[in-house]
Amino acid sequence: MRFEVFNQWDFPIDRWLNDQFGKHILFDNLVGYVSGFDLFNSVLLISAFWWCWFRSNDQAARTRDREHVAATLVLGIISIVIARALALSLPFRVRPRFEPALHFVLPAAWNSSFFADWSSFPSDNAMMFATLATGLCFVSWRVGLLASLYVPLVICFPRIYIGFHYPTDVAAGLLLGFVCGYIGNQSRPRRWIASPVLRWELLWPASFYTAFFLLTYEFATLFVSVRGIAQGSVHLIQRLVGDR
């Protein structure tokens, strides 16, 4: 797969967006603040899962809600794995901020080399959060609708604006995430995924809620600590292999 066809759509949009830097200082600062602040970047969305977990007093409704929550969080992890597998297996796509043809200009505070060696297609953030937002739609259509608007506007757009992703990276991630969240929340796969999770909560609540908190924390922080451990492990293995 090559990205020349996508570039015909992406490059004009990225050039236009990048031309806006410096023209609207307040907007630039707002985008930079939102993109770098976990409260807006992910925490609000992840908090909705705790609300969904405890919202109902009716036993049948609570069980159904918790099935959707458990299945959706598991699907969120699966979506990250799928997104990273696609990024590693498809041809490498340079992120907009590092694409020489775009001459991307960023404020000095934003101009880091982070993710320079990570392919941009598809957006794993878009895929993960689209999966989570789709799952919320099955618990509460109002919360799901808000989440479905929140993900592309508040979480994904800043990543396009500051050059971490092309629009088609995000569009592909959103579409794949929707498919993953929708299929996984159908009755049969939902129950198959959620049953061991709910059994764990029933039999060993102390360990379950400890793990539940840690998992939602990792979602809220975009798995930064897990990524750091993975990258450190890869570098260590490469060094050990290289020293032989």
Distances (CA, A) of 60 to 17, 56, 66, 69: 49, 9, 10, 14
Domain boundaries, the chain: 4-107+114-242
Of 217, 175, 184, nearest to 75 (Cα)?
Answer: 184
39: exposed, middle or buried (Cβ count in 10 Å: 0-12, 13-18, 19+): exposed
How is residue 122 written in tokens?
A: 């598809």
pTM, whole model, 2 decimals? Answer: 0.85
Q: How confident is the model at residue 208 (pLDDT cuts 50, 70, 90)?
A: very high
pLDDT of residue 38: 58
The HSE-up count of residue 160 (CA atoms within 13 Å, CB side) is: 25
Q: How confident is the model over 117-161, as pLDDT tens digits? A: 788 888 988 999 999 999 999 998 999 999 999 999 888 888 888
Class of CATH domain 4-107+114-242: mainly alpha
Distances (CA, A) of 220 to 44, 49, 159, 237: 8, 11, 16, 29
pLDDT of residue 88: 87
The chain-wide mean pLDDT, for the chain, equals 84
